């Protein structure tokens, strides 16, 4: 342990969890910290009591509810992901403070949160510096910091999903590729936007770096998440087995509206735009879309 008392560190799992979570949890455990995760019931309670308009979009409200619940459950600090790399791009998601600076936006909107510790949701040259800073923020033993980092290092790799190959579906079905901001296109959301007679596939099956590279080939001046969505639309739109594209946006997000126009300009296949609110169709967002550690 870093000191004589176990430090409890909460983790917001709603946004891009598979990209950053395993490494940072392993790092915390290796250093003797206690990872804490919000229960669905606690998240539901905080979600219901969030002040109207305090946090925009369903996904960010779920993340905010998790952060609030973690503080109530005794977390001394809360880890939240950085959703995009620092960039000078100021359009699309680059103009959305909730995307560019999630931790800062949460602090501004919800005074009284437990201290937030942002970590990158990607693995780059800065990872070791960030990991050391994270551990030193929770203790002061340099030797233990180094050992913990060495033990967790094997998990410092991007997820490698199944790939962009989309085979033909059963006879009589139409294959629809679901694309959008990476924190929206989750297995749960993909299942909600499918319709009768459709086989739905999501961009989450493709490695994020492959999507970003494709998006940046078309438009270099995009923040990472917009590049992923555009890259997914182009990659999947070129697949012969894909009949339609379905872009998921949040009705409250101006940057999603910008993205919809940009994707529509370059789509190779017919494009539908569906809002998260339409996909929910009256369902409880916590029941339908909450991403917990066990998902």
pLDDT tens profile 221-253? 999 999 999 999 999 999 999 999 999 999 999
Domain 174-289, CATH class in plain words: alpha beta
Read off φ and ψ for residue 12, nearest 5 degrees: -80, 120
Is-contact 33 6, C-beta < 8 A? yes
The tens digit of pLDDT for each residue in 37-60 reads 999 999 999 999 998 789 999 999
Say what the pLDDT of residue 282 is: 96
Helices 142-152 and 127-136 pack at an angle, to 10 degrees, of 130
* Residue 95: strand, helix, or coil: helix
The reply to whether 174-289 shares the fold of 8-155 is yes
Is-contact 100 181, C-beta < 8 A? no
Say what the pLDDT of residue 142 is: 74
Say what the pLDDT of residue 143 is: 77
pLDDT exceeds cutoff 80 at 4: no
The tens digit of pLDDT for each residue in 81-139 reads 999 999 999 999 999 999 999 999 999 999 899 999 999 999 999 999 999 999 999 87
The C-alpha R_g of the chain, in whole angstroms, comes to 19
Would you state the torsion angle of the CA atoms of residues 9, 53, 42, 110, taken in this order, to the nearest 10 degrees? 30
Q: What percent of the chain has pLDDT over 90?
A: 81
Give the domain ranges of the chain: 8-155, 174-289
Residues 61 and 170: their CA atoms lie apart, in Å, by 37
Average pLDDT over residues 187-207: 94
Say what the pLDDT of residue 12 is: 99
Is-contact 36 78, C-beta < 8 A? no
Query: What's the CATH number for 8-155?
Result: 3.40.50
Residues 294 and 166: their CA atoms lie apart, in Å, by 27
pTM: 0.94
pLDDT confidence tier of residue 3, bands split at 50, 70 and 90: very low
Sequence-distant (≥ 6) Cβ neighbours of residue 269 within 8 angstroms: 177, 237, 242, 243, 244, 245
């Amino acid at each position: 342990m870093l000191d004589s008392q176990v430090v409890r560190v909460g983790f917001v799992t709603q946004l891009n969890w598979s990209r950053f979570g395993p490494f940072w949890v392993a790092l915390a455990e290796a250093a003797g910290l206690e990872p804490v995760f919000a229960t669905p019931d606690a998240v539901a309670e905080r979600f219901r009591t969030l002040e109207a308009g305090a946090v925009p979009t369903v996904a960010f409200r779920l993340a905010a509810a998790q952060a609030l619940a973690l503080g109530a459950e005794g977390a001394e600090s809360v880890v939240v992901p950085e959703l995009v790399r620092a960039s000078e791009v100021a359009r699309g998601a680059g103009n959305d403070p909730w995307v560019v600076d999630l931790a800062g936006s949460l602090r501004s909107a919800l005074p009284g949160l437990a201290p937030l510790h942002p970590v990158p949701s990607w693995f780059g040259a800065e990872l070791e510096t960030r990991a050391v800073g994270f551990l030193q923020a929770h203790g002061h033993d340099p030797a233990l910091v180094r050992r913990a980092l060495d033990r967790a290092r094997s998990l410092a790799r991007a997820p490698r999903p199944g790939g962009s190959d989309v085979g033909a579906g059963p006879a009589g079905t139409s294959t629809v590729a679901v694309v959008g901001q990476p924190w929206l296109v989750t297995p749960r959301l993909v299942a909600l936007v499918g319709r009768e007679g459709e086989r739905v596939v999501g961009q989450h099956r493709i490695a994020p770096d492959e999507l970003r590279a494709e998006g940046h080939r078309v438009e270099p001046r995009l923040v990472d998440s917009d590049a992923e969505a555009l890259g997914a639309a182009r990659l999947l739109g070129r697949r012969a087995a894909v009949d339609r594209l379905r872009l998921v946006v949040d009705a409250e997000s101006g940057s999603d509206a910008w993205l919809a126009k940009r994707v529509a300009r370059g789509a190779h296949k017919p494009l539908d735009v569906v809002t998260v609110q339409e996909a929910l169709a009256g369902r409880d967002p916590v029941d339908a879309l909450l991403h917990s550690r066990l998902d």
